[in-house]
Amino acid sequence: RPSLAIDRREVEHALWIPVGALHSQDARTTHHFELDGREFTAPALAYGQYTIWGLTYRILNRFFALTLE
Protein backbone atom coordinates (compact mmCIF):
# COMPACT_ATOMS: atom_id res chain seq x y z
CA ARG A 1 0.00 0.00 0.00
CA PRO A 2 1.27 3.48 -0.75
CA SER A 3 1.84 5.79 2.19
CA LEU A 4 -0.77 8.45 2.75
CA ALA A 5 0.16 12.11 3.17
CA ILE A 6 -2.69 14.18 4.56
CA ASP A 7 -3.37 17.84 5.09
CA ARG A 8 -4.41 18.12 8.76
CA ARG A 9 -6.50 21.18 7.90
CA GLU A 10 -8.74 18.96 5.78
CA VAL A 11 -8.49 15.41 7.14
CA GLU A 12 -8.23 14.07 10.66
CA HIS A 13 -7.13 10.53 9.73
CA ALA A 14 -6.31 8.55 6.60
CA LEU A 15 -6.41 4.77 6.63
CA TRP A 16 -7.00 1.72 4.46
CA ILE A 17 -10.33 -0.05 5.08
CA PRO A 18 -11.65 -3.18 3.33
CA VAL A 19 -14.58 -2.22 1.09
CA GLY A 20 -16.72 -5.02 2.50
CA ALA A 21 -16.40 -3.62 6.01
CA LEU A 22 -17.98 -0.34 4.93
CA HIS A 23 -20.55 -1.81 2.58
CA SER A 24 -21.98 -3.93 5.39
CA GLN A 25 -25.34 -2.87 6.80
CA ASP A 26 -23.71 -3.11 10.24
CA ALA A 27 -21.44 -0.18 9.33
CA ARG A 28 -24.41 2.21 8.91
CA THR A 29 -24.72 4.71 11.73
CA THR A 30 -25.23 8.43 12.38
CA HIS A 31 -22.83 11.17 13.37
CA HIS A 32 -23.90 13.98 15.71
CA PHE A 33 -22.06 17.29 15.56
CA GLU A 34 -22.44 20.96 16.41
CA LEU A 35 -21.93 23.84 14.01
CA ASP A 36 -22.48 27.50 14.86
CA GLY A 37 -24.28 26.52 18.07
CA ARG A 38 -26.75 24.20 16.30
CA GLU A 39 -26.82 20.43 16.58
CA PHE A 40 -26.96 18.23 13.50
CA THR A 41 -27.19 14.53 12.70
CA ALA A 42 -25.69 13.10 9.51
CA PRO A 43 -25.57 9.61 8.01
CA ALA A 44 -22.23 7.91 8.57
CA LEU A 45 -20.25 4.69 8.41
CA ALA A 46 -18.50 3.15 11.40
CA TYR A 47 -15.24 1.21 11.27
CA GLY A 48 -13.67 0.40 14.61
CA GLN A 49 -12.98 3.68 16.40
CA TYR A 50 -13.52 5.70 13.21
CA THR A 51 -16.64 7.44 11.94
CA ILE A 52 -16.79 8.33 8.26
CA TRP A 53 -19.23 11.09 7.43
CA GLY A 54 -19.64 14.25 5.39
CA LEU A 55 -18.18 14.39 1.90
CA THR A 56 -16.23 11.15 2.34
CA TYR A 57 -19.46 9.35 3.29
CA ARG A 58 -21.24 10.79 0.26
CA ILE A 59 -18.44 9.73 -2.10
CA LEU A 60 -18.38 6.19 -0.69
CA ASN A 61 -22.17 5.90 -0.72
CA ARG A 62 -22.24 6.87 -4.40
CA PHE A 63 -19.37 4.47 -5.14
CA PHE A 64 -21.29 1.60 -3.55
CA ALA A 65 -24.44 2.50 -5.48
CA LEU A 66 -22.56 2.48 -8.78
CA THR A 67 -20.35 -0.55 -8.30
CA LEU A 68 -21.63 -2.97 -5.70
CA GLU A 69 -25.39 -3.02 -5.93
Residues 15-41 pLDDT 10s: 899 988 998 899 999 999 998 999 999
pLDDT on residue 53: 93
pTM: 0.80
pLDDT on residue 5: 82
Predicted confidence (pLDDT) at residue 47 exceeds the cutoff of 70: yes
Q: In which element (H, E) is residue 31 found?
A: strand 28-35
Q: What share of the chain is helix, strand, coil (3-state, %, to 5)?
A: 30, 30, 35
Kindly state the DSSP code that residue 34 receives in the 8-state scheme. E
